[in-house]
Structure 1
């Protein structure tokens, strides 16, 4: 059946997450454009309707098993290591369930993406106005009498940015330890200065997480008659007729319904968007046939690779009981260069002021539990891929991260762990720490032993990109720089799946940027 309302939409946006909420809001600023935004999970119409735990900046809802706001994807970190990857399924998408980390990509990332896309649209100088427009930087934003163009930051955008305070004893000790070890101070990680230690920019204010749904949809956009937001509308596939996308299929009351529009934009995320393309018959034809899906458009790059950041938790034992943090679960962050890495810093040591036992239970304080650092390798590279295994939309795809597959991968991970251990072993950090928990100097000293320790504890930073990469047609890509799917009309992808490689920092802020950039491109085309 074809489902119709009072007004036929001009564009259907699939997914109200980090990019989709942004794109739908910006497109609806044109009163002549009817925008329909579909979210698979709940889409509250007011802040008061959000469960408190989804607003709590001391919690990471995606780390808690069984959360209703999360969809889990079957994955393998390595061929012998099964895993479940969490993604947000709620208004705001993964910005509702992640840690609130909101660090911009580096200039080097934009240079790399622009080159891969064959389009200057993604150069740093071209995206900087969008980076300003999307934020209100509460720490470094322009003064009221200062021109925004004179600052790298914005002061009037939807997303608030506040850096973590470093007053907690563990955060203060981290800062002093980094200085003791000779790392430079980096007070503003959203400016393009040399990497080092600094507070973490977050989209949290006064202990509350401000996700993209709240920031972009529950303000002025909520009153726009040309913007319709529908929650609990899981899209099953895109309909394609004679080379043009014509609508989407949703499941409703046990029966499929078709919603039609001349333009469809997939913003479902780097796992769900390629899966939707596959379910629609768009992807590698032979692989789709094995899953029982008839190919509509053979596009081998969809799901062929992915880019993400391997991560290991390094725990340490506090010397004395510590109070729960205030404002955010995050402390400081150290970015440094691996032995062959990018000068912008491809290793990250991120501090948690809440024990791991608290992150998985929702408790800000767990007496006697160790505290943690997250050691990540953020070197831009592609590994693994995403494969659809069934034509049933309720069967998730299989995600292969392909971590630690080369000697260089393993070396960089060792370097990240050893850099973290060096922080814990410093004189300054010894003021709050009794030392590492879970491994010793012998493990650290021997490469093979440390590799085994890492394999047993390997995780992911949940920074997936590259599953629907942008680039020129015929060059191993799936979309162009404006997100348009190669070889089809009326279909775009606008989320982190289009980034050929993950950025040198976590991609939450870049997901918002993607929504801004693609919305800008669409509005220029119509203008």
Structure 2
């Protein structure tokens, strides 16, 4: 492994060192005959935890230093560091329903079915050392919510495996508050010692060089200077926001939009940057009793306070039998935004819409790779109002759970959230930070399709996309574990 000088002439260049990119680089370099270069715009803190900043290893917080944009809209947060979102998220791993896989199978074929992805799920669970949240990490609020959800009829389920609606604990890529991210899991010292693997950090991907319908190389900016990498196969893993932006800058996307930005259209693919889907939610605040505040303060003093360690997956309106389209997430701890007086804490329950039908988009502001893209999540904007209706049903269920926890926290808002107007819901909406879909896979004759079931980009040879952007619909889950499994599977298609 090396990070300099600038390499060239590889078999595979993986663009983006996030969750998917770490998987791809590790798996593809297992063949010593295949040379692999992994390109990451952010820093590489090395193969062992000793080289990592304490903030990125702290699984009790959501680090915001190594990101593309600071002090920006909440839905724009995205990591800029080797390991990607696994370095800055909640370290949660859950799995979706069979209904999710049915959607993906219609778009990409049988390799996307639940049985076909199962071995890759298990492989990711093992590599990331995932384990269920232990009892000692449940706060008084989480423990009470877990019990109350059972009394409301939600059975206990394994959140990291196929199943049904119910209550349970997520699988964690963290032990005793120390985060174990995808870079540490997949790019350890043994993997980095492979002479056929290069990790190139601090290199911003500008655009692909496309001629005659084939990618001939990729332009990157390293130490302020443009350079070109050449490979037989180029794999985009820059994420749901980054991958479409690279394609657009490369002349692959809607012709009219490219023309507006002064970019020559190489392949007219209207679906690039479209179909953006994320999971919106609304937080229902509660007023902790002095007893709950004291219990949370004791947990914080012991260094063992986690904002949340359990959830409920619930079926709201428009939900297929046996599936779920809501997450109810009880949280208690220091406020995510703002401050409270010492000894006081924020408590409440969020309802997240897991299967939205609203679609947003990613577009360019300009052809400059340093210019952040336009990101429009379009939460709760479907014309039939279905998303607002499902979210409202989730808020009713959150209210039921909150009522069952009234001895620990009472109401703090006189207006129940499920009675709010659609406009007021949109004003209060937040996100679960699980965007997908902007390079969606689908049949070649479907106008919005960008990739096939193996991540190959329609109309462009030598190019794959292998990250969350290929998912045509968001799973009813936190997306880290599904993306890990998908990257494991797509790595196998590249190795075949």
2:411 corresponding residue in structure 1: 436
Equivalent position to 2:57, from 40, 55, 58: 55
2:334 corresponding residue in structure 1: 355
2:140 corresponding residue in structure 1: 169
1:466 corresponding residue in structure 2: 437
Matches within 5 A, 1:252-291: 252-291=222-261
Please, which moves more after superposition, 375-384 or 213-222? Answer: 375-384
- Asked whether the 8 Å contact 1:57–1:327 carries over to 2, the reply is no
Shift of 1:271: 0.3
Do structure 1's residue 68 and structure 2's residue 65 form an aligned pair? yes
Shift of 1:444: 4.4
Following the alignment from structure 1 to structure 2, what is the Cα–Cα distance between the partners of residues 307 and 520? 26
- Structure 2 gap ranges (5+): none
Following the alignment from structure 2 to structure 1, what is the Cα–Cα distance between the partners of residues 451 and 71? 25
Write the deviation string for residues 457-493 of structure 1: whole angstroms up to 9, x where unpaired: 2111111111000112131201111111111111110
2:92 counterpart SS class? coil
Equivalent position to 1:487, from 446, 456, 459: 459
Following the alignment from structure 1 to structure 2, what is the Cα–Cα distance between the partners of residues 162 and 402? 34
Q: Relative to 1, partners in 2 of residues 1:84 and 1:447: Cα closer, same or farther, differing over 3 Å? A: closer
Following the alignment from structure 1 to structure 2, what is the Cα–Cα distance between the partners of residues 335 and 376? 10
Matches within 5 A, 1:415-454: 415-426=393-404, 429-433=405-409, 435-437=410-412, 439-440=413-414, 442-444=415-417, 446-448=419-421, 451-454=422-425
- Output the aligned Cα RMSD: 2.2
- Asked whether the 8 Å contact 1:376–1:413 carries over to 2, the reply is yes
Do structure 1's residue 103 and structure 2's residue 94 form an aligned pair? yes
- Asked whether the 8 Å contact 1:379–1:504 carries over to 2, the reply is yes
2:216 corresponding residue in structure 1: 246
Q: Relative to 1, partners in 2 of residues 1:5 and 1:177: Cα closer, same or farther, differing over 3 Å? A: closer
Matches within 5 A, 1:300-339: 300-319=270-289, 320=291, 321=293, 322=296, 323-324=299-300, 326=304, 328-339=306-317
Equivalent position to 1:388, from 347, 355, 364: 364
1:64 corresponding residue in structure 2: none
Do structure 1's residue 225 and structure 2's residue 191 form an aligned pair? no
Equivalent position to 2:349, from 361, 365, 373: 373
Shift of 1:382: 4.8
- Asked whether the 8 Å contact 2:283–2:351 carries over to 1, the reply is yes
Matches within 5 A, 1:27-46: 27-45=28-46, 46=48
With normalisation by structure 2, the TM-score equals: 0.91
2:184 counterpart SS class? helix
2:128 corresponding residue in structure 1: 159
With normalisation by structure 1, the TM-score equals: 0.86
2:104 corresponding residue in structure 1: 113
Shift of 1:394: 1.4
1:356 counterpart SS class? coil
- Asked whether the 8 Å contact 1:74–1:398 carries over to 2, the reply is no
1:87 counterpart SS class? coil
Write the deviation string for residues 113-165 of structure 1: whole angstroms up to 9, x where unpaired: 01112x111111111111112222xxxxxxxxxxxxxxxxxxxxx11112123
Please, which moves more after superposition, 42-51 or 346-355? Answer: 346-355
